[in-house]
Amino acid sequence: MEKFVVTGGKPLSGEVTISGAKNAAVAIIPAVILCDEPCQIENIPNISDVSLISRILQQMGANVRRINRSSLYIDPTKIRTCNAVTDLVRGMRASYYLLGALLGKYGRAKVALPGGCNFGVRPIDQHLKGFEALGAATQLVDGAIIEAECDNLVGTHVYLDVVSVGATMNIMLAASKAKGQTIIENAAREPHIVDLANFLNSMGADVRGAGTDVIKIRGVEYLHGVTYSIIPDQIEAGTYMCAAAATRGCITVKNITPKHLESISAKLREMGVKITEYDEALKVDASSAPLKRCNIKTMPHPGFPTDCQPQFAALLMSVPGTSIINENVWDNRYQYVSELIRMGAQISVEGRLAIIEGGTPLTAAPVKATDLRAGAAMIIAALEINGTTEISNIQFIERGYEDVVEKFRGLGADIKKVYFTGDNEQELGA
């Protein structure tokens, strides 16, 4: 069993360079299916989700090879099947982007229902609503596989009943080669949606309005190959910012887009953290002033991101006073709370609210990552504690954080990845 072993109790300091955005990469890589020529994607995060979606494309016949640590060459012209029903597909949530890409390119798709983190119901009804509005027939087969097929996709008007990042992106993919214009209303506005639109447009697509709640896509017949660089990861940056604040450290977060981090920076400033903004970096300094409690309400972008909610919960554990988190995106994102309680946190959950009594003494304890961002919260909590914490289920963390051990070590953290066999342990990568 692989675990992270963290000995905390000292402030972080130094610089950390942020990788490409996971949430953009796992949509842009399937989007290459739409292209009629090879593409090169740069600033790819070296994470397990990227490896999975790359292997899925290879299974379908695409030529996918890694040029270097952060660049992929993808030739989709040899794809020989529209079926993606293997265990690899079931292993990641973002595999549903294969539906929109395959439907847009070939007019048919057969994709297994995805897995990934489990923190609430994630229906894809809005995705299917969009596909059907474009003219596709969809069906659920054996409760585990989605089939979609059409003779011709035709531009249409789609109003999303709820703001859905996945549905917005999937409909964008399918509509990119549909005949005529598609209008998506009540669209999500996250930075990775804008990044997907920019990638599609760089290939010759006609997508306008990304970043607003109305997106217009006029279908085109041909998409040409490009070299494209993915945006920095907003949530990875927010995680290291939280960690610096939680340990009362001072770090510089590099290779970022500060505008994407405004909601996170605003909350840290409210707590008393000094944030200095540069062109592509932020300095996060929590070393001088005592931090204050705050309340957080997660919302679709540009509101506070749900993907930074667990990390802030770990931070607020260290701040005296009562803080309240109101989770407005997912129904069941507080599974991690029981793990923080094992460390001595005083947190109670009432429906969508988590009430945190911060400033209580914490102790090291064995904990597990219940999902990707919860795993990041476990690392942050462990860094606060004078003691050694073992974190299991680290495969969740490695889904979305590149070189997490090396990056935290670069900031002075005492963290290592070990392989446990019975009573023995061996450090990996030592």
Mean pLDDT (10-residue bins), the chain, 430 residues: 95 98 97 98 96 96 96 97 90 88 97 62 82 96 90 96 95 98 98 98 98 98 98 98 98 97 98 97 94 96 96 97 94 92 97 96 95 97 97 95 98 95 66
The tokens describing 350, both together, are 């009432």
Q: pLDDT value at position 117?
A: 45
Architecture, CATH, for domain 22-229? Alpha-beta prism (3.65)
Which residue from 107, 164, 171, 158 is spatially nearest to 137, judged by alpha carbons? 107
Side-chain-side CA neighbours of 401 within 13 Å: the count stands at: 27
> pTM of the entire structure?
0.94
Quote the CA–CA distance of 284 and 39 in Å, as a whole number. Answer: 36
Q: Is 43 left (phi over 0), alpha (psi -120 to 50) or beta?
A: left
Q: Hey, where are the domains in the chain?
A: 2-19+232-427, 22-229
How many C-beta atoms lie closer than 10 Å to residue 242's C-beta? 28
Catalytic residue annotation: 117
Quote the CA–CA distance of 356 and 101 in Å, as a whole number. Answer: 43
Quote the CA–CA distance of 176 and 348 in Å, as a whole number. Answer: 46
The tokens describing 113, both together, are 């229902």
Binding site feature residues for UDP-N-acetyl-alpha-D-glucosamine: 93, 122-126, 307, 329
Q: Are 229 and 42 in contact (CB under 8 A)?
A: yes
* CB-based contacts of 351, cutoff 8 Å, min separation 6: none
Quote the CA–CA distance of 212 and 209 in Å, as a whole number. Answer: 6
| Domain 2-19+232-427 indexed as CATH 3.40.50.970 | no
Binding site feature residues for phosphoenolpyruvate: 22-23
Quote the CA–CA distance of 200 and 377 in Å, as a whole number. Answer: 34
Binding site feature residues: 22-23, 93, 122-126, 307, 329
Q: How far is CA 22 from the centre of its chain?
A: 5
Answer yes or no: same fold for 2-19+232-427 and 22-229.
yes
